[in-house]
Structure 1
């Protein structure tokens, strides 16, 4: 048998890589042929996604149904930054062989992020989240500034925007009042149990636990390092997957118009704040 030359081996490798790329990045017709839509969702991002499901999980399944596709979820841990997440889960795949997906949920619709990630298309904004304060009305009857938190028991999630601004606001004015928890859900549970007077967290996290209880009202506090309008999330596909993006956008528009998307949010106690 004639041995492979280096040139033949290189050509074979290139062909294999080409076939892999074609299978990894399927256009809409290919997706309909396979009948599967691979959707990337974050691990441990309640109330949007996690082991017990969430808004993004239900949303993804509804989108798959609209497109006539079965959804295959690809849960993943957040990377060092969003550029890593988009590379690993949308346009390239993780070096360990996990991914990429056909679409990624819960991607910030941000101009700078878009400009820095030319290989993806970020579109279909479906929710605006923001950091808010929830308080025990008996312990803190009113709160219009961080002054109301001095000397109180205030919870926040570790390594979160809420913890960062609480600990650093006005030179650490309320730092001694802050207690850090592993998750926002744990801090909110402590609030409801009477172990805290207030919690700073994302509105979606608060609503999913408090469920509109009048004893735990929400307040808007100004923090210099936080955008007043919060942030908007949408989804992302590979830049070349134009037909898939159009089909997903059309499905989102239909769900918005029918109220189906708002119902998914309501299932988890969250009000869908439209961008």
Structure 2
């Protein structure tokens, strides 16, 4: 005769637990709306996505905030040694110096291995697919027939980058003597435009934003054994429990894409949007 009472009590406890577990999600969104601002973390020195002069991610952050009826509070931050460090500092915990966390972080790789290693965040809403490309001078290389066409010629790369690792290790180091290391890919591309280099290996977005369809230069995909041909998608990250915020941002992004605003944002920076 006590079993029904026990079942009722258990059901009530489970219901209360479910409400408790879901509370932080709505509480986070309510807190954001009460503050009137959406705090968005973007990388420093990642042109054309974010820099002192703005960028694609900065414009996306502003558009998302407006869609949610909020002001934008931008939190630029320097990249850590690993993306996991950035997620800890800017999404779920905050930096030990007191900077962050933000409500959402942009330009997060949408990668299943990264997701598996970072269970305190929700990674979602991919909005661009990045790839590595080779930009080359048509004057220096009138007939392009693969990367070997630039052998013996100077090629620029950004320091501590995927492009640098790939090029320095390609063909047992056969390009190594002619690789020129630059602080940023933008600086390398500017030297390419000035005729000081034959080519630059960099992210497609970096190349497009600097060369801006200049007919003097070609842009080619080059196959590297250690690099996925399709590149990698980037999206957003919020705290794992901030489900309402994630849903609101996903909806806002969908509306920006459908209206053509996302395409216009990329176009302002000379970059072709690539749907993940």
Tell me whether the two structures share a fold, i.e. TM-score over 0.5: yes
State the partner residue of 1:91: 92
Q: CA separation in 2, counterparts of 1:179 and 1:173?
A: 14
Structure 1 gaps of 5+ residues are: 1-21
Q: CA separation in 2, counterparts of 1:185 and 1:91?
A: 32
State the partner residue of 2:18: none
Pairing 1:103-252 to 2, within 5 Å after superposition: 103-252=104-253
Structure 1 residue 26, shift from structure 2 partner: 5.8
Q: Which moved more, 1:26-35 or 1:166-175?
A: 26-35
Structure 1 residue 145, shift from structure 2 partner: 2.4
SS in 1 for 2:114: helix
1:61 matches 2:32? no
Map Cα deviations across residues 165-191 of structure 1 (whole Å, 9 max, x no partner): 111101001111211111101100000
Q: CA separation in 2, counterparts of 1:26 and 1:162?
A: 43
State the partner residue of 1:16: none
Contact between 1:144 and 1:220, CA under 8 Å: does it hold in 2?
Answer: no
Contact between 1:104 and 1:236, CA under 8 Å: does it hold in 2?
Answer: yes
Q: CA separation in 2, counterparts of 1:156 and 1:141?
A: 21
> TM-score, normalising length from structure 2?
0.89
Q: CA separation in 2, counterparts of 1:216 and 1:55?
A: 23
CA RMSD, 1 decimal:
1.4
Runs of 4+ in 1 over 6 A off after TM superposition: none
Contact between 1:149 and 1:177, CA under 8 Å: does it hold in 2?
Answer: no
State the partner residue of 2:259: 258
State the partner residue of 2:46: 45
Structure 2 gaps of 5+ residues are: 1-22
> TM-score, normalising length from structure 1?
0.90
State the partner residue of 1:36: 37
Q: CA separation in 2, counterparts of 1:259 and 1:42?
A: 25
Q: CA separation in 1, counterparts of 2:144 and 2:119?
A: 43
Aligned residues: 253
Q: CA separation in 1, counterparts of 2:143 and 2:108?
A: 34
Structure 1 residue 143, shift from structure 2 partner: 2.8
Contact between 1:146 and 1:174, CA under 8 Å: does it hold in 2?
Answer: no
